[in-house]
Amino acid sequence: MFFSQPKLNYLLMQKLSIRRKVAIAGLTTLLILLLLLNLQIVPDATTENSRCVTGRIAHIEEGGTKDVVFKLEHDHATYYINRGLEQGLDWATVKQLEGKEAVLHYVKHWSPLSALSQVKHLARVEVEGKILYDEIKK
């Protein structure tokens, strides 16, 4: 069966159009799945799913919606207490912690982009042997 050149061009364009639509649909589905996997809710903190890091507090700032954000010396990660100022932490008291040694316990959980993330949700903050913030379930 022979087709004229215009008909052949039309059939080839239709075939390319279908492939393009399938590729776009596949990529869109993949992006939606990755987005849904990444938007996991941080689980409740327990002793089993928390890790700790020790260091000198280099800087504390307010971030997001009343979040308290910690940076440690020689550590690229950012640690935060979600809505810490709404949970009873006093800004003046928290700010005085800069320069002190601290043990920060953060929730360890997995998401597709967590390996790339340097932002950690704090579950407990200990400074000079005193627990200043604690949400770890016993």
- Asked if residue 116 has pLDDT above 80, the reply is no
**In the structure, what pLDDT confidence band is assigned to residue 114 with cuts at 50, 70 and 90?**
low
- Mean predicted confidence (pLDDT) in 51-55: 95
Q: Would you say residue 138 has pLDDT above 80?
A: no
1 pLDDT higher than 60: no
Q: What is the mean pLDDT of the chain?
A: 84
Q: How confident is the model at residue 8 (pLDDT cuts 50, 70, 90)?
A: low
Q: In the prediction, which pLDDT does 113 show?
A: 57
**What is the predicted pLDDT for the residue at 17?**
75
pLDDT digits (tens, 9 = 90+) for 69-92: 999 999 999 999 989 999 889 999
Q: What is the pLDDT confidence band of residue 60, given thresholds at 50, 70 and 90?
A: very high
pLDDT tens figures, 23-42: 888 898 988 877 776 666 67
Three-state DSSP state, 75: coil
pLDDT score, position 72: 96
Domain boundaries of the chain, sorted by first residue:
50-134
Are 101 and 128 contacting, i.e. CB atoms less than 8 angstroms apart?
yes
CATH number of 50-134: 2.40.50.140
